[in-house]
Amino acid sequence: MPEEFYSGTYDVAVIGAGHAGCEAALASARMGMKTVMFSINLDSLAMLPCNPSIGGTGKGHLVREVDALGGQMGLITDQAMVQSKMLNTRKGPAVHSLRAQADKTRYHVEMKKVIENTSNLDLKQGEIIEIEVADGRVKSLLTSTGARYETRAIILATGTYLGGKIFIGSSVFQSGPNGLAPSLKLAENLKSHGLEIWRFKTGTPARVNKRSLDYSKMEAQYGDPKPVPFSFLNDSISFEELPCWLTYTNAETHAVIQKNILRSAMYGGQIEGTGTRYCPSIEDKITRFADKERHQLFVEPEGYETNEMYVQGMSTSLPEDVQTAFMRTIPGLENVEVMRPAYAIEYDCLDPSQLKNTLELKSIENLFSAGQFNGSSGYEEAAAQGIIAGINAALKLKGEPPFTLDRSEAYIGVLIDDLVTKGTNEPYRMMTSRAEYRLLLRQDNADMRLTERSYSIGLATHERYEKLMDKLMNIDLELKRLESVTVRPEMVNGLLERLGSSPIKQGMSLMELLRRPEVDYISLAEVDIDRPWLREDVFVQCEIQLKYQGYIQKQLQQVERFKQLENKRLPEDLDYLDIEGLRLEARQKLSKIRPESVGQASRISGVSPADVSVLLIYLEQRNRRRGVDNGR
């Protein structure tokens, strides 16, 4: 052990400077906490070690929500964008999801600038090897070089660094992502504090040289002609677009993989960690979907200043020679030169059911945890947890009530509730189908859902808040105007006919007309003579609110039902082992997770509806008994 020395005192210390760490540190510092963030290597701050894109279905919603709360991810993505696409536009507005291709280097550089220039925030290179806990509460931490920092709260954001082990065929070595140094001591220290640690696995495909590709055999994929920014602070965005390239595997590719499958670390049996179903390796894909003749792959640029290209869809733990061999069977990749081979990585992570929904550990006060270390996968999921952990660490130290979001308020709420309630048996990826109330949780209204709440706890800036207020006021005014302006049949019937909508017989308000499925705001312009100029986000809100009112209403009723069980709090002193109608599994799960409400209890796997009924009846009897006792 190196000689120890005192190195400083902080309110909040963040371990790890990835997407969770950066958002956590920024939130904490912006809320006035003296904050320090550690990274094993400062050059890897806000690194995108896997795909060069941010957002996507469900994930795009998370980025918008992080932005609405005053986070950084949306703003940095806007600065680093090389392509942008709104997915699912043929479907309803609730599942529109923004996805951007990002320049990885620029992403890192811009985020580092922000971190370095944020007051209350210190950035330090160093590996944390020990957390000191005294009286059930964090006290200090120690770096591998002997520096001890006293701190009132700690946020773990170690990503895939803890106990990191990389697999490329039979080549296995200890490493963090992308060849960076792993963190090998902290996990043992955490275990010594009684934390339950799991082993998860993820992987990334190869990076290949742009000059070795034959573009004539691949299909260019462009983004939207008018890109949409991620951040609500940006009204528009422009950049020089880079295309992605689409191509497919074939029978020959599959044969090469098939022949060598036992040389893969996955199938050879070296890997013990659990991987995600949502991001399968190519050997997994051809094994599980053996009847599928081809699999698509996208070749994506990693940035303006590099020739490295990311081969999306081809993550693998096959040896390097096989990787090159199977890729060279793919049209466009016949002469491909691999620059960085694909690898699988195994790492330590936390059983997230040890966390409260503030992301504080239940067993150790003021120890928070966020990101991939909590069993999630993806930059966006990490950032979303980071900002919530940062906020709650700050609030806790200030003695203020916690900040949590429930499943009806945000995708972030769904994400955290899923992790802490259900736990996860594979790296957790956000998807829109995980959100029950997604008609309300749209990416277009994240600011309306969250910004005011963040402003009230001192995180979202005044600029953000003012912008939201302005938007709300304009929406309100426009809705009133649409209701009050009536158009006569002779003015509008021609337009209606062209739109394939039935003609009207007497005057009708613009509001009523907009409710028709065939009519939209933009096409109504020609009969709406006095229409004021409005920002697109304003009239889009008006349109969505009017057009889908019936559906939104129904969803609100569902939320009401959801809240009934959510508002039924479970007393903290409840001894589940003593409630004998509960099945044994339910008793154990409930005792371990200690849900805050009957609603949360009902989502724990292993707790059946009958168990929930038992709980409800137990609570009622308990309340009655209390009532009688109090009456005496």
**Which residues bind to another protein, rule: CB under 8 A?**
57-58, 87-88, 90-92, 94-95, 296, 298, 431-433, 436, 438-439, 517, 548, 551, 554-555, 558, 564-565, 568, 579-581, 583, 602, 608-610, 612-614, 616-618, 620-621
What torsion, rounded to 10 degrees, do the Cα atoms 465, 469, 474, 480 define? 150
Judged by beta carbon, residue 287 or residue 608, the one nearer another protein is 608
Judged by beta carbon, residue 233 or residue 574, the one nearer another protein is 574
3-state secondary structure of 101: strand
Q: Which of 491, 532, 482, 530 is nearest to 509 (CA)?
A: 482
Judged by beta carbon, residue 165 or residue 295, the one nearer another protein is 295
Q: Which of 512, 520, 509 is nearest to 543 (CA)?
A: 520
- Taking only Cα atoms into account, the Rg of the chain, rounded to an integer number of angstroms, comes to 26
Judged by beta carbon, residue 191 or residue 624, the one nearer another protein is 624
Cα 630 from chain centre: 47
Alpha helix segments (H runs only) across 150-280:
186-192, 251-260, 265-268
Judged by beta carbon, residue 554 or residue 626, the one nearer another protein is 554
Q: For residue 342, count other CB atoms closer than 10 A to its CB.
A: 23
Judged by beta carbon, residue 200 or residue 548, the one nearer another protein is 548
- Residue 447 has φ and ψ, to the nearest 5°, of -65, -40
Rounded least distance, CB 551 to another protein, Å: 5
- Give 477's contacts (C-beta < 8 A, 6+ positions apart): none
Question: Residue 114: how many CA atoms within 13 Å on its side-chain side?
Answer: 23
Cα 198 to Cα 93, 189, 346, 364: the distances in Å are 38, 14, 10, 18
Judged by beta carbon, residue 91 or residue 217, the one nearer another protein is 91
Judged by beta carbon, residue 169 or residue 378, the one nearer another protein is 378
Q: Is 585 exposed, middle or buried (0-12, 13-18, 19+ CB in 10 A)?
A: middle
Strands 97-102 and 121-125, bridge-based pairing: unpaired
Residue with tokens 């880079």: 242
Beta bridge partners of 100: 54, 84
Cα 467 from chain centre: 24
Rounded least distance, CB 219 to another protein, Å: 12
Rounded least distance, CB 227 to another protein, Å: 17
Q: What is the 3-state secondary structure (H, E, C) of 47-111?
A: CCCCCCEEECCCHHHHHHHHHHCCCCHHHHHHHHEEEEEEECCCCCHHHCEEEEEECHHHHHHHH
Give the integer Cα–Cα distance in Å for 373 and 537: 36
Judged by beta carbon, residue 197 or residue 565, the one nearer another protein is 565
Rounded least distance, CB 498 to another protein, Å: 18
Rounded least distance, CB 629 to another protein, Å: 17
Angle at which helix 462-484 crosses helix 536-547, to 10 degrees, equals 50
Q: Which of 6, 32, 1, 26 is nearest to 14 (CA)?
A: 26
Rounded least distance, CB 565 to another protein, Å: 7
Rounded least distance, CB 375 to another protein, Å: 19
Rounded least distance, CB 433 to another protein, Å: 4
Judged by beta carbon, residue 58 or residue 243, the one nearer another protein is 58
